[in-house]
Amino acid sequence: QVQLVESGGGLVQAGGSLRLSCAASGRAASAYAMAWFRQAPGKEREFVAAITWNGGTTYFADSVKGRFTIDRDNAMNTVYLEMSNLKPEDTAVYYCAARIQLNFAANYFSAGTYPYWGQGTQVTVSS
């Protein structure tokens, strides 16, 4: 019901900033809650940030709290992840995901609850 296309990844030095974008398309695309997850080589996919369908509530993993922000522009059906003070441990493939908002506050952090995923974009932070 929704397609997600990510962009904005790249190579950045530690302490730098990067902005990722996720463009959503499909019927009622703006009605979905959305999130960012990341996966580093040899590690499990982990939750990064999430946002409700109208942008009114956001959630962050403890590892990125205070450094990352998430926002959405429903007029453009786009979700952003703004990353600052990047660290080498932030290096990973970052994925955009979407789901209906039912019970969102209870399990927004669970990758298994998101049926729609983007292709991923690589973020590499050098020290």
Q: What does the pLDDT read at residue 42?
A: 94
pLDDT tens for each residue of 68-77: 999 999 787 8
β strands within 1-127, DSSP E: 3-7, 10-13, 18-25, 33-39, 46-51, 58-60, 68-73, 78-83, 92-99, 116-117, 121-126
**Regarding beta strands 10-13 and 121-126, do their DSSP bridges make them parallel or antiparallel, or are they unpaired?**
parallel
List the one residue out of 75, 28, 39, 40 whose CA is nearest residue 55: 75
CA distances for 27 relative to 17, 31, 73, 93, angstroms: 33, 9, 16, 27
**Residue 96 pairs with which residues in a beta bridge?**
36
**Alpha helix stretches (DSSP H) within 1-127:** 104-107
Name the pLDDT band for 6 (thresholds 50, 70, 90). very high
pLDDT at 28 over 90: no
pLDDT tens for each residue of 30-46: 789 999 999 999 999 99
List the one residue out of 45, 36, 32 whose CA is nearest residue 3: 32
pLDDT tens for each residue of 84-118: 999 999 999 999 999 999 999 999 999 999 999 99
Q: What does the pLDDT read at residue 86?
A: 98
pLDDT at 29 over 80: no
